[in-house]
């Protein structure tokens, strides 16, 4: 329809209002010219449709703005030309409104064939001929593209992190709350992962905030690539991230996801300001097992993350009910550390470093331990995790150097003492002066002190680091680059710094022990590199004769680990060093004592309708050893209750008096802390249907609940307790 058709009074067009009286009389031609100018200016655009909803008129400026040909649009159904913005469920609204023959306004659309193009706001008015005969619509349009994108950006900033594009803290909280509310009604599971970047602050402090921002963007990209299941990822601020994974409660799957995240995030990053490596720790909680509301589950995941960081970082932990007490006690230990320094509760143990060719002890590495008045002895691994980030790190570091020098002064002159230097202490302005004073106080030659320096010191002020290393070298102190091969390693460090030795990262040694090919090739290359630079190599953490033979074949200079000796006290060192030196024969019978929760604990096993209390003696992925029941034949099936809803179906494969060997139907999986757990747990929703309150199920005991799953009255117990065993559960 030509524009002048819209002016016809017979058509009931919207433009009749232009004629309001004699003073404003205007010819149709003048009015048409004015409307043409209005359309071309962009201030007013028009459209019209017939009674069947087909487009009969469209301002040329609209078609041009949509980058479409006017001839291709006229005659087509209005609903096929325009589509509502954002796919908000109103796709058929134009057709419906046309059929309803009611006026509308503020309808935001774009061209159906160009959804990323211009955004228009349409208004329309039904037109009737001869009283009540519907003739179609007449309407106006406005280009709101810029306004729309501003509103979208504003809405996005309210929900998403402007740096990484991930959901922000507020939006993640809303999504978790709404998801868990819906999942509670549908009795579905949902996992929450809390992530914290390790050593991110060092990047910010040394390479600058611009580098830190770029690093966070790359972390966000890697998170998207590392999680292949449906999920929502958010950045909570700083270096904290959060992941919500719906409908997954398999802890084997979640553990694999967490390890993939940790592995991908610790790979080197290339930034404009330089190359860096960070790490990540992950805490995992699952609704409804570890909480029902969003606040409860996030808090559980937070506690698990705290435990993962305290356990040495670069690992994951699942939430368990004892983590809260563990976290409280941990904070108390950190608070007690200042008192430990003041009241001399700290002491050193020494691990022998053995010359590979002669098996003679050439040095002893100092490990800091703590004799806590309530906890007892806190070993070097746990103490190191408590010290990390503590305000006491400078005082403890200085104490360890002074104490080690004082002890080593009484050793043979051929034996050195090695001390690990915390990064904050190395970067401190009076570090070199303190080392001088410690040597002078002990009256010990500088050549007998070996300082192990972590590669992280190179993240600091380059000039200051070079100056400190040069001053230590000038004093005659032996310098070792610690944890080489951990991911930071750069040849630039070795080229710049006067190191005497390279200490190969213990994790690389452990990988070589397991896989024996590629990792050994890397070790061989490190040995060749150090040899070319006239540096010694040290391999630690060795437990097997096979690995030791492989490392000796690679040409490693010095070795240490459980195969030679665990760390021992100062008195033992003095005793062993008497005479003609200390030589240690390697023994494959020595293995590193794994830190674990006590194995001897009471658990429940279920057979038919009865629950029996037994003692769990040991636990592996494939089975367990229990003690306490008499006359249990082979092939008997039990359901083993490991606590917290963890049920494992097991078959008796060995029966020895009051002791039974069990084989699990489904192997256990890693719990992230060196222990084991079942892949799945009994659904709290199933337990709730049996009578337990849902909010209390995370720590609850389903066996004791009213109307519970075990009916003791339905049959006679088949097994009795062995003499001396508990019969409380019988």
- In this prediction, what percent of the chain has a pLDDT beyond 70? 82
3-state helix, strand, coil in the chain (%, to 5): 40, 30, 35
The answer to whether residue 730 is domain-embedded is no
The whole-model pTM stands at: 0.59
Q: How far apart are CA 29 and CA 654, in angstroms?
A: 105
Q: Which residues of 380-390 are buried (b: 16+ CB within 10 A; e: fewer)?
A: bebbebbbeeb
Q: How many domains does the chain have?
A: 4
Domain co-membership, 350 together with 314: no
Domain co-membership, 169 together with 272: yes
The answer to whether residue 583 is domain-embedded is no
Domain co-membership, 384 together with 311: no
Higher pLDDT, 498 or 249: 249
User: Would you say residue 88 has pLDDT above 50?
Assistant: no
Domain co-membership, 211 together with 145: no
What confidence tier does 589 reach under pLDDT thresholds 50, 70, 90?
Answer: low
Q: What pLDDT shows up at residue 596?
A: 36
Q: What CATH number did the domain enclosing 405 receive?
A: 3.20.20.450
Provide mean pLDDT across the span 414-438: 92
Q: What CATH number did the domain enclosing 240 receive?
A: 3.30.70.270
Q: How far apart are CA 662 and CA 34, in angstroms?
A: 93
Q: What pLDDT shows up at residue 709?
A: 45
Provide mean pLDDT across the span 20-29: 56
Domain co-membership, 137 together with 285: no
Domain co-membership, 474 together with 409: yes
Domain that holds residue 700: 601-721
Lowest mean pLDDT among 427-436, 487-496, 655-664, 698-707: 698-707
User: Would you say residue 378 has pLDDT above 60?
Assistant: yes
- Assigned token pair, 594: 């794994």
The answer to whether residue 596 is domain-embedded is no
Highest-scoring range by mean pLDDT, 152-161, 211-220, 676-685, 688-697? 211-220
The answer to whether residue 673 is domain-embedded is yes
Domain co-membership, 537 together with 638: no
Q: What contacts 24+ positions apart, CB below 8 Å, involve 290-296?
A: 290/319, 290/698, 291/698, 292/180, 292/184, 292/684, 292/694, 292/695, 293/177, 293/180, 294/173, 294/176, 294/177, 294/180, 296/698
The answer to whether residue 586 is domain-embedded is no
User: Which stretches of 20-141 are DSSP H helices?
Assistant: 28-41, 60-65, 70-73, 78-81, 93-100
Domain co-membership, 172 together with 141: no
Pair 666, 649: CB distance under 8 Å: yes
Higher pLDDT, 216 or 203: 216
> Quick one: which of 329, 420, 333 has its CA closest to 383?
333
Q: What pLDDT shows up at residue 157?
A: 72
User: Would you say residue 350 has pLDDT above 90?
Assistant: yes
Q: What pLDDT shows up at residue 475?
A: 93
> Quick one: which of 174, 180, 182, 178 has its CA closest to 287?
180
Domain co-membership, 217 together with 347: no
Provide mean pLDDT across the span 185-208: 88
Q: Give tens-digit pLDDT for 695-713.
A: 444 443 434 333 334 444 4
Which residues, in sequence order, are CB contacts of 5 under 8 Å at separation 6+? 11, 13, 57
Domain boundary among 321, 348, 380: 321
Q: Give tens-digit pLDDT for 608-649.
A: 878 899 999 888 889 999 999 988 999 999 999 888 788 899
The answer to whether residue 588 is domain-embedded is no
The answer to whether residue 619 is domain-embedded is yes
What confidence tier does 41 reach under pLDDT thresholds 50, 70, 90?
Answer: low
Q: Is 564 exposed, middle or buried (0-12, 13-18, 19+ CB in 10 A)?
A: buried
What confidence tier does 692 reach under pLDDT thresholds 50, 70, 90?
Answer: very low
Provide mean pLDDT across the span 401-409: 95
Q: What CATH number did the domain enclosing 49 receive?
A: 3.30.450.20
Domain co-membership, 420 together with 316: no
Domain boundary among 321, 337, 359: 321
Q: What CATH number did the domain enclosing 622 receive?
A: 2.40.10
User: Would you say residue 715 has pLDDT above 70?
Assistant: no
- Assigned token pair, 20: 């309001």
Beta-bridged to residue 624, according to DSSP, are: 619, 662
Higher pLDDT, 435 or 601: 435
User: Would you say residue 543 has pLDDT above 50?
Assistant: yes
Domain boundary among 151, 177, 202: 151
Q: What pLDDT shows up at residue 214?
A: 93
Judged by DSSP in three states, 405 sits in: helix
Domain co-membership, 279 together with 196: yes
Q: How far apart are CA 613 and CA 604, in angstroms?
A: 5
Provide mean pLDDT across the span 380-386: 75
CA dihedral 285, 287, 291, 292 (to 10 degrees): 150
Q: What pLDDT shows up at residue 149?
A: 81
Pair 700, 584: CB distance under 8 Å: no
The answer to whether residue 593 is domain-embedded is no
Higher pLDDT, 11 or 191: 191
Higher pLDDT, 670 or 311: 670
User: Would you say residue 728 has pLDDT above 80?
Assistant: no
Domain co-membership, 122 together with 172: no
Provide mean pLDDT across the span 389-418: 91
SS (H, E, C) 54-87: EEEEECHHHHHHCCCCHHHHCCCEHHHHEEEHHH
């Amino acid at each position: 329809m030509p524009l002048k058709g819209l002016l016809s009074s017979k058509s009931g067009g919207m433009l009749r209002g232009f004629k309001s009286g004699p003073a404003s009389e205007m010819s149709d031609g003048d009015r048409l010219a004015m409307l043409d100018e209005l359309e071309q200016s962009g201030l007013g655009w028009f459209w019209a449709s017939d009674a069947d909803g087909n487009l009969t008129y469209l301002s040329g400026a609209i078609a041009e703005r949509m980058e479409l040909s006017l001839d291709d649009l006229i005659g087509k159904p209005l609903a096929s030309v325009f589509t509502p913005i954002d796919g908000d469920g109103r796709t058929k609204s134009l057709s419906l409104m046309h059929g309803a023959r009611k006026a509308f306004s503020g309808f935001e659309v774009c061209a159906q064939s160009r959804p990323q193009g211009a955004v228009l706001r349409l208004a329309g008015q039904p037109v009737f001929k001869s009283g009540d005969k519907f003739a179609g619509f007449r309407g106006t349009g406005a280009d709101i593209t810029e306004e729309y994108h501003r509103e979208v950006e504003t809405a996005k900033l309210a929900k998403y992190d402007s740096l990484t594009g991930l959901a922000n803290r507020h939006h993640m909280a809303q999504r978790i709350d709404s998801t868990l509310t819906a999942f509670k009604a549908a009795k579905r599971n949902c996992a929450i992962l809390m992530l914290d970047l390790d050593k991110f602050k060092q990047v910010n402090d040394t390479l600058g905030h611009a580098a830190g921002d770029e690093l966070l963007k790359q972390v966000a990209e890697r998170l998207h690539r590392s999680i292949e299941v449906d999920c929502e990822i958010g950045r909570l601020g700083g270096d904290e991230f959060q992941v919500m994974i719906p409908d997954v409660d398999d802890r084997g799957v979640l553990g694999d996801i967490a390890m993939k995240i940790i592995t991908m995030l610790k790979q080197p990053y290339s930034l404009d300001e330089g190359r860096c490596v960070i790490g990540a720790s992950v805490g995992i909680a699952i609704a409804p097992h570890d909480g029902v509301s969003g606040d409860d589950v996030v808090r559980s995941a937070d506690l698990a993350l705290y435990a993962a960081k305290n356990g040495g970082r670069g690992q994951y932990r699942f939430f368990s009910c004892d983590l809260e007490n563990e976290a409280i006690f941990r904070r108390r230990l950190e608070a007690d550390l200042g008192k430990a320094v003041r009241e001399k509760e700290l002491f050193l143990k020494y691990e022998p470093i053995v010359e590979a060719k002669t098996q003679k002890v050439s040095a002893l590495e100092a490990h800091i331990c703590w004799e806590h008045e309530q906890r007892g002895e806190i070993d070097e691994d746990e103490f190191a995790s408590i010290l990390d980030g503590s305000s006491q790190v400078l005082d403890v570091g200085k104490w360890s150097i002074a104490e080690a020098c004082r002890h080593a002064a009484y050793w043979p002159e051929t034996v050195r003492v090695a001390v690990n230097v915390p990064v904050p202490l190395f970067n401190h302005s009076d570090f070199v002066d303190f080392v001088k004073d410690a040597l002078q106080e002990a009256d010990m030659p500088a050549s007998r002190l070996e300082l192990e320096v972590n590669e992280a010191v190179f993240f600091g002020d380059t000039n200051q680091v070079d100056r400190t290393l040069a001053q230590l070298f000038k004093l005659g102190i032996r310098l070792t680059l610690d944890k080489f091969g951990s991911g930071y390693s750069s040849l630039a460090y070795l080229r710049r710094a006067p190191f005497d030795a390279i200490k190969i990262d213990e994790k690389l040694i452990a990988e070589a022990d397991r896989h024996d090919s590629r990792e050994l090739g890397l070790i061989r290359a490190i040995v060749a590199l150090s040899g070319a630079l006239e540096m010694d190599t040290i391999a630690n953490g060795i437990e097997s004769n096979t690995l030791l033979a492989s490392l000796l074949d690679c040409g490693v200079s010095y070795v240490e680990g459980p195969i030679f000796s665990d760390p021992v006290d100062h008195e033992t060192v003095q005793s062993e060093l008497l005479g003609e030196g200390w030589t240690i024969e390697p023994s494959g019978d020595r293995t590193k004592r794994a830190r674990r929760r006590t194995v001897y604990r009471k658990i429940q096993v279920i057979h038919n309708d009865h629950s029996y209390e037994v003692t769990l003696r040991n636990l592996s992925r494939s089975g367990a050893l229990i003690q306490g029941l008499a006359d249990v034949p082979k092939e008997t099936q039990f359901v083993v209750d490991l606590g917290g809803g963890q049920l494992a179906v097991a078959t008796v494969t060995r029966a020895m008096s009051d002791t039974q060997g069990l084989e699990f139907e489904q192997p256990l999986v890693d719990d992230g802390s060196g222990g084991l757990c079942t892949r799945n747990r009994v659904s709290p929703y199933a337990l709730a249907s049996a009578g337990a309150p849902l909010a209390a199920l995370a720590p609850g005991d389903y066996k004791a609940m009213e109307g519970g799953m075990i009916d003791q009255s339905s049959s006679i117990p088949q097994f009795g307790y062995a003499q001396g065993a508990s019969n409380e559960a019988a």
